[in-house]
Amino acid sequence: MRENKKIQNEVEEIEEWQKESITRISEKTQIEKLLVSEHYLYNEEKSKYLGKAKEDVLYAYTSEALDSPDTYKQLRKDLQDQKVGKAIINGTLISEVTLKIIEEVKKRKMPFTIVKDPQFKEEIGLELIRISSLG
């Protein structure tokens, strides 16, 4: 009888250990899923913002807006913002538009990068990046 009780206690301990293990694995899996989903969302966001996180972008201009002369008045104003540290230009823009942007950026002696990557959505043509996000 004692032997049966001892075996039953051991079985219960093993079952409890298995339940705890399954719970830990389940929690780990949920955390991993969350991390993967956060990574996906972060990458999805970066593809909308030419490789930068949304919070790093002070000003963004659509490719369509860059076809308008009125946009360049606003661009000149935004380039005067002391928080702006860099321009990122979408490499899929028409060359005349790209040259206009480069001309404006060079007047301020600001660094710029031209990026071209198929993952980027073509809606954004130009971003002005927060100086504090440049490392």
Residue 68 has pLDDT above 80, yes or no: yes
Mean pLDDT for all residues in the chain: 78
Structural domain of residue 85, as residue ranges? 49-133
Q: What is the mean pLDDT of residues 67-93?
A: 91
Assigned domain for 122 exists: yes
Better-predicted residue by pLDDT, 87 or 9: 87
pLDDT in tens, 90-116: 888 888 999 999 999 999 999 999 988
State how far the Cα of 68 lies from the Cα of 62, in Å rounded to an integer: 11
Q: How many domains is the chain partitioned into structurally?
A: 1
Assigned domain for 34 exists: no
Burial of residue 30 (number of CB atoms within 10 Å: 0-12, 13-18, 19+): exposed
CA within 13 Å, CB half, 114: 11
Assigned domain for 89 exists: yes
pLDDT of residue 111: 93
- What is the CATH number for 64? 3.30.1330.30
Assigned domain for 18 exists: no
Assigned domain for 61 exists: yes
pLDDT in tens, 18-52: 777 666 666 666 655 555 545 444 445 555 667 77
Assigned domain for 64 exists: yes
* Phi, psi at 4, each rounded to 5°: -65, -40
Max CA-CA distance within the chain? 94
**Distance set, CA 24 to CA 11, 20, 28, 38, 61 (Å):** 20, 6, 6, 21, 47
Assigned domain for 78 exists: yes
Q: How confident is the model at residue 83 (pLDDT cuts 50, 70, 90)?
A: very high
Assigned domain for 7 exists: no
Q: 57-62 and 124-130 as β-strands: parallel, antiparallel, unpaired? A: antiparallel
Q: What is the share, in percent, of the chain residues with pLDDT greater than 70? A: 67
